[in-house]
Amino acid sequence: MLGAGGALVGAAGTAAAASSRNPERVYAVVQIVSQVVLAFVPALLARLALGLFGLDGGLYGLAVATALLMPLFIWLLPPRPSDGVSTTSAWKAILQAPNRGIAVVAMLALLVYETGQGGIWTYLAELGHHSGVDDQLYGDSMVVIQLVALSGSFLAIWIGDRFGSKWPIVLGIGTNVAAAVALNYGTNPTHFVILNVIWIGSYYFVVPYLLGLMARLDDLGRWAVAIDAMWWLGDAAGPPVAGMIVERSGFELLAAFPLCTGVIGITLFMRVLRRFGSNRKTLVT
């Protein structure tokens, strides 16, 4: 139920933002606002909800927070009605969306790339332990890391679309993958914190561009929502794959996981960006 409800709300939000004039900037601002709020949630949950009221308090706390935020969803109602597009079938609506070939390859690219990211996220605390970071330091440092890493979103807002999508996406994913690999070789807490800031910061930088690219493939937001779903699918697949690697080969081989998924992801994204670029040129001429 949690997954289904969250998916509906998330899809509505992502689709609504896709129809804005400058989707990259809107996604970046939304990311900053939501992550600033969320950065304090783990600490609050540990100290207040779980600490004072136990598991019931934690779960009721999430329910109350959701209920309080629900009235704000009213502005998700889209600004203009669709022009003769059927809404009876999800698949029919998806099949009517333009740039299908490009969008499907982009979704595959993200699925592969995100699987590696999800795997590292699952073992992040464990990687912290290997770098000499204890539980308390991990919890507190993650608040700071998440807030500092938002500079990636600010950078995306500042750059906007002045350099197009290609180089921000390629450089963003490249930096992100390099940091994910290096996290496996950290030897002290300083390494862990710096690499984490780079890893999460480059991720925050690239997210608005990926969502913005999909929004430009279809300004009704169908592909933006679809790729958002791929995000979660990759996140769902990452933990079991990473768990299998760690169980069979230990942490030494975990670094190879984000490296492989990152290289495949960048290769596929390059293909998407080349085809998207040539499609736009054709439309302009």
Q: Which of 4, 282, 283, 284 binds other proteins (CB under 8 A)?
A: 4
**Beta carbon nearer to other proteins, 92 or 280:** 92
Token readout for 124 is 């992040």
Q: What residues between 197 and 236 interact with other proteins by CB under 8 A?
A: 220-222, 224-226, 228-233, 235-236
Q: Which of 48, 60, 92, 144 binds other proteins (CB under 8 A)?
A: 92
For 238, residues 6+ apart whose C-beta sits below 8 A from its C-beta are 114, 115, 116, 117, 118, 119, 120, 121, 122
The distance of closest approach from Cβ of residue 128 to other proteins in the complex, given in angstroms and rounded to an integer, is 13
Stretch that binds other proteins, among 85-93, 174-182, 184-192, 272-280 (CB under 8 A): 85-93
Burial class of 32 by CB neighbour count within 10 A (0 to 12, 13 to 18, 19+): buried
* Strand ranges, E, within the chain: none
- Buried b / exposed e over 46-79, threshold 16 CB at 10 Å, is eeebbeeeeeeebeebeeeeeeeeeeeeeeeeee
Stretch that binds other proteins, among 55-63, 178-186, 190-198, 250-258 (CB under 8 A): 55-63
**Beta carbon nearer to other proteins, 10 or 174:** 10
* φ, ψ at 53 (rounded to 5°): -115, 5
Q: What residues between 114 and 173 interact with other proteins by CB under 8 A?
A: 160
Q: What residues between 20 and 39 interact with other proteins by CB under 8 A?
A: 20-22, 25-26, 29-31, 33-34, 37-38
